[in-house]
Structure 1
Amino acid sequence: MSDRVLFPASIIGSMPRPGYVKHLISDDCTLPEDEYRRLMGSAIRSVVAMQEMAGLDVVSDGEWWRKSYIGVIAELAHGFELSLNPADGRPWTIVVDRLAPKQPGFIAQEVRFLKQLTSRDIKATLPA
């Protein structure tokens, strides 16, 4: 933004996902990668447009590329194992080996795509 806003408006967290986005990121989705990226790209365009129409100063991709905020860490690096929490049976991710990136630049790809869609300031989530 060229004219800085004292208190820029943006979302906190991820945007609610419609059913078709939930399906795209589910394990049940068996689309070829190029079709997945085309459909998810279209979904991201719509969530960016929604934020712009709402008048937000800073927009995001809604975190729709990611299955979950926590799980994305394990998706980005080797060395994690998905198992079930013995206390309650919920899935959890544990470190089992030295961490190494699976696909360096993953978040940079998300940012590049988002920058193409809007002239507004953008934000990307960096899980840690």
Structure 2
Amino acid sequence: FEGRAVQELVKDPEFAQWMDPTSRTVPEGAEDRQMFFNRTSSMLMKMFEYMLRTHTEEAACVTHGGVIMNMLSQHALPFRKPEEWMTDPGAGYSVRLDAEMWMRDHLAEAYDVVPHGYLDGME
């Protein structure tokens, strides 16, 4: 699928099958869902462990929305399905890391949407 326009991809049945969350189809050269899930989980763990080791109190992880969804569905409270962590481009979540909870449960608390006030007034 590399190098193809989105307008072209959406018409491709193989791409549609790969994007279907119930499908196990993995096109040649693509990353399967479990590998993606494991990779994003591993990176969040490394970031939090680095923060704990270096006593870093604030950090930002600027990444793709699919990565955010997978990271938070695996390691954030409240527990939610990946699609329930979806955000608009440029938005995300504030996450609070408690060293004891992270070391014991590998969980952090997602407590607010960023940027601040982004969803104010939304129903």
The verdict on a shared fold, with TM-score over 0.5 as the criterion, is no
Instruction: Looking at secondary structure, tell me which structure has more strand per residue.
Output: 1
TM-score, with structure 1 as normaliser:
0.32
TM-score, with structure 2 as normaliser:
0.33
